[in-house]
Structure 1
Amino acid sequence: MSTTAAFPAAARQAFGGAYPNDPVRLNHGLVGHRLLTLDALADLAQALPSDSIEYNPGNLPIGIAPEAVPTPQLGVIDTIRRIGDAGSWVALKRIEQVSEYAELLRDTLGELQDIVVPRTGPMLQLEGFVFITSPGGVTPFHFDPEHNILLQIRGSKVMTMFPVEDEELLSAQAHEAFHLGQHHRNLPWRDAFAAKGTTWELTAGEALHVPVKRPHWVQNGPEASISLSVTWRSEWSYAEADARAFNAVLRKAGLTPKSPGLYPDQNRAKALAYRAIRRVRG
């Protein structure tokens, strides 16, 4: 699609020094890409199935229950085209369902395979997400189960990221419930958490590696923003998820299991045990 590298040599070197457990700022070359303009993204929203589109008012608190999020007033196409004054944020999910965006995702992540594969194994379940956000918009406190690089295409934003291993922020039970499909990605917020966060400001042409399940919230800058999130799973990330689910089984039996370890801990025994249970249950 394009001969321009998404990640220059310096970015690949920085990523190699951080992956998989540490956040790191990178530079990228996708600013101005024809598939990432507002007009192109409005067309993408029309092409995606409705369950791959989420849009909400942008003036949300850092912590909000999913049922408390108000209903947006504009349709998604009008919201994208008027994002500068719509007071909203739009998430276009799994953009690889449209062939040109699948190619963009494969090309972008393909530049990192030689770094990723020796450490966490093959890049699995490649998915892309685009976030289109009005000035000042907030994405509430949450975490994601994928390996993730967030590329800022237009405008600016500040991500505040928190330690994944701090169970005051995110309890073992919350991890387990997430992997059993029992709670929304948004997390309860307390003002006391703020002191534990590290802020990362991104401007157009910058990107941020967000390690698996790092809790974070995002404040958009003073201009409309476009961001591209390129994500993948690994056997390690799946093993961590299945080990968490197996811990829920142990907890239900009255035990107090140890939380799974960060990479390079493989969590293999618990993961295999839970996969066996899942097969038995069908």
Structure 2
Amino acid sequence: MPGPRIHVDPASFDPWKIQAVTHALSDHPLLQIDALVELGRRQQERKLVRTHSAAATAGTSFADAPLLHPNARDAVTTLADIEKANAWMSLLNVQADPIYRRLIDEVLDEVRPIVDRRDPGMCYRAGWIFVSSPRTVTPFHLDHEHNFILQIRGRKRLYTWDPFDRVVVSERAQELFHDQHSRELVVWDEAWRPRARAFDLAPGLGGYMPSTTPHLVENGDGPSITMSFTYYTDATRQRELLYRGNAALRRLGLEPRPVGSSPGHDRVKHTVLAGYTSARNAIRRVLGRTIRENSQPYAPA
């Protein structure tokens, strides 16, 4: 029986450490350009495509890049001519597509036994496929999810920073991101490049990035296809709740203790916050209001 398609060393895997991985997905038929053109057609109908032109830089606002540097082509045209399109494109939340959801489940089910030993509670699964023209840049940013990022075609350099480096992303920036999904305070500074761990990715190579790992990507001289398999765990959900709690305390004029500075304090705070959140959500359900939820099996599209 073949082994997992993401190759992770069980002995050294640490859910909060950036690390290199290898994989066996480069030749998968669903990740070749013809299949991605068809997926792009379906994702565009679902409004699950994000794109910008090659004019974006490391310092471009990640949130605003599609508005600041628009790509005038639609998904199908861009993907079919990606070598000359001068564009960056992400097919978002591909778990919304039944065919690709099966792929996500197959791959994450294979690696889950390794993950669960140190980081149980895998949920909120999602997939993201990045197709980019030569020399395009993914601006500096961070994401909520744990991320296995795998290079399928072409070459690129992935710069990553320790998710606990508060010089690169401050505690206040973390609070704002977890509380409001705002990257307003996540701002690029060229002086940070020497602090990065860089991965030169080629087909068969990849990386594991823990939740809120700051990163940017610079594409090589050819077109690139990359896929990310992402998920939450019990620990990422607990950490998000702690940061949201600290953000609320700061709005009251208090100076909260940084998350992670005292595990005992964090445990007590999380117990209180979890109880409060559960009670509030019960009331919101009765009133028919929207509930912020991050424990379902798949991320909502």
TM-score by length of 1: 0.90
User: Hey, what does 2:51 align to over in structure 1?
Assistant: 55
User: Hey, what does 1:280 align to over in structure 2?
Assistant: 280
The residue type paired with residue 148 of structure 2 is: I
Q: Distance in 1 between matches of 2:122 and 2:210?
A: 14
From the superposition, tell whether residues 223 and 209 of structure 1 become closer, same or farther in structure 2 (CA, over 3 Å). same
From the superposition, tell whether residues 238 and 266 of structure 1 become closer, same or farther in structure 2 (CA, over 3 Å). farther
1:137 aligns with 2:136: yes
- C-alpha offsets along residues 72-108 of structure 1, whole Å, 9 cap, x if unaligned? 1211110111110111111011111111211111111
Kept in 2, the 8 Å contact 1:157–1:225? The answer is yes
Q: Distance in 2 between matches of 1:149 and 1:254?
A: 38
1:43 aligns with 2:38: yes
Shift of 1:172: 1.3
Q: Which moved more, 1:56-65 or 1:105-114?
A: 56-65
The residue type paired with residue 175 of structure 1 is: Q
From the superposition, tell whether residues 130 and 67 of structure 1 become closer, same or farther in structure 2 (CA, over 3 Å). closer
- C-alpha offsets along residues 41-74 of structure 1, whole Å, 9 cap, x if unaligned? 1111222254321011123110112336222121
The residue type paired with residue 280 of structure 1 is: R
**Structure 1 residues 58-73: aligned runs within 5 Å:** 58-65=54-61, 66-67=63-64, 69-73=68-72
Q: Distance in 2 between matches of 1:52 and 1:277?
A: 34
The residue type paired with residue 146 of structure 1 is: E
From the superposition, tell whether residues 78 and 16 of structure 1 become closer, same or farther in structure 2 (CA, over 3 Å). farther
Q: CA RMSD in A?
A: 2.2
User: Hey, what does 1:241 align to over in structure 2?
Assistant: 240
User: Hey, what does 2:252 align to over in structure 1?
Assistant: 253
Structure 1: unaligned runs, 5 residues or longer? none
Structure 2: unaligned runs, 5 residues or longer? 285-301
**Structure 1 residues 205-244: aligned runs within 5 Å:** 205-244=204-243
Kept in 2, the 8 Å contact 1:142–1:185? The answer is no
Shift of 1:240: 0.4
Q: Distance in 2 between matches of 1:108 and 1:158?
A: 24
Q: Distance in 2 between matches of 1:188 and 1:265?
A: 31
**Structure 1 residues 171-182: aligned runs within 5 Å:** 171-181=170-180
Kept in 1, the 8 Å contact 2:4–2:111? The answer is no
**Structure 1 residues 152-231: aligned runs within 5 Å:** 152-181=151-180, 183-184=182-183, 187-231=186-230
Query: What is the aligned counterpart of 1:34 among 23, 29, 33?
Result: 29
From the superposition, tell whether residues 275 and 104 of structure 1 become closer, same or farther in structure 2 (CA, over 3 Å). same
TM-score by length of 2: 0.85
Indicate the percent of aligned positions where both proteins have the same amino acid.
27
Q: Distance in 2 between matches of 1:266 and 1:113?
A: 30
1:17 aligns with 2:12: yes
Kept in 2, the 8 Å contact 1:63–1:187? The answer is no
Q: Which moved more, 1:117-126 or 1:77-86?
A: 117-126
The residue type paired with residue 69 of structure 2 is: P
Aligned residue pairs total 276
User: Hey, what does 1:94 align to over in structure 2?
Assistant: 93
User: Hey, what does 1:7 align to over in structure 2?
Assistant: 5
Q: Which moved more, 1:266-275 or 1:106-115?
A: 266-275
